[in-house]
Amino acid sequence: MSIQSAVLGRIAKVQHFFGDLKHPIPVGNEINWNHAPTWKQVHGIEIAQLTQKNQDLGECDAMITCSPGLPLAIRTADCVPILLARKDGTQIGSIHAGWRGSLARIVAKFFEKVSDPENWVAAIGPAISGNAYEVDEDLILKFQREFSEHSAEMYLPKPRRLDLAALNHLELTRLGVTEVDQLGLCTLTTKQSDGAFRFASYRREPSIQLRQYSVITMVAT
């Protein structure tokens, strides 16, 4: 069953999907993977502008386009995938937010490029949950110092646990995005009805280089 966001689903002329182990590369009627760019995610804050099919974006962890028919995609296996669209369907974006990108405020960097967050909606896809993501104390302290404007309890649910999806939700709201759909699916622990894990997870299987794609596109008319 395809994973989609009700919030993004209301935006006319935009199609999107979040992948899983069974369908790591989502397929939709309007998703033209033959036009997809090439890119390398490096856990940074580079925002690439996509203007033509098969564009080489180099190293980037977020994408923006105003051009229909071009899929924007993110590869993840515990990091946070964020898909975004203007409410009028004239521009879309995608963000890969691991702990490095989140700490460097990649969401804020994205909105430095588009400048009007109140006109956007966002969906936060499957990612490792705060209850499952244990990190060292030094990293916790870095996040507390960087995000002192947020109540730490909102994204640090337990000792040495970090909830990146919750933190990026807070950041989107702080910046002015009025509708944020956090799907709440944990890549490490979520299982299917048959007991098999639903998502690729680096924490669960670090030796297996499986990833799932999150994709959004503007429908060509």
| 81 backbone dihedrals φ, ψ, rounded to 5° | -90, 130
% of the chain beyond a pLDDT of 70: 100
CA angle 211, 206, 190 (to 5 degrees): 60
What pLDDT score does 17 carry? 98
**What distances in angstroms separate CA 63 from CA 48, 150, 203, one per listed residue?**
5, 26, 26
Mean pLDDT value of segment 50-68: 98
Strand partners for 165: none
Alpha-carbon distance 30 to 152, whole Å? 40
Polymer length of the chain: 221
Q: For residue range 15-42, what is the model confidence (pLDDT) as tens digits?
A: 999 999 999 999 988 999 999 999 999 9
Q: For residue range 71-106, what is the model confidence (pLDDT) as tens digits?
A: 999 999 999 999 999 999 999 999 999 999 999 999
What pLDDT score does 157 carry? 95
Instruction: Please name the CATH architecture into which domain 6-218 falls.
Output: 4-Layer Sandwich (3.60)
Strand partners for 154: none
| 79 backbone dihedrals φ, ψ, rounded to 5° | -65, 170
Mean pLDDT value of segment 180-185: 98
What pLDDT score does 207 carry? 84
Alpha-carbon distance 206 to 33, whole Å? 27
Strands 62-65 vs 47-50: parallel, antiparallel or unpaired: parallel
Q: Is the dihedral of CA 32, 62, 171, 113 positive or negative?
A: negative
CA angle 82, 85, 89 (to 5 degrees): 160
Look at residues 144, 166, 64 and name the one whose alpha carbon lies nearest to residue 110. 64
Alpha-carbon distance 75 to 94, whole Å? 10
pLDDT over 80 at 69, yes or no: yes
Beta-carbon contacts of 77 under 8 Å, excluding residues fewer than 6 positions away, are: 187, 199, 200, 201, 202, 210, 211, 212
pLDDT over 70 at 164, yes or no: yes
**Whether 90 contacts 221, CB under 8 Å:** no
pTM of the predicted protein model = 0.97
% of the chain beyond a pLDDT of 90: 94
Largest CA distance in the chain: 51
Distance from first CA to last CA of the chain, Å, rounded? 27
What pLDDT score does 139 carry? 97
User: For the chain, what is the mean pLDDT?
Assistant: 96
Task: Give residue 115's pLDDT band: very low, low, confident or very high (50, 70, 90).
Answer: confident
What pLDDT score does 1 carry? 64
Alpha-carbon distance 17 to 27, whole Å? 8
Task: Give residue 209's pLDDT band: very low, low, confident or very high (50, 70, 90).
Answer: confident
pLDDT over 90 at 2, yes or no: no
pLDDT over 70 at 173, yes or no: yes
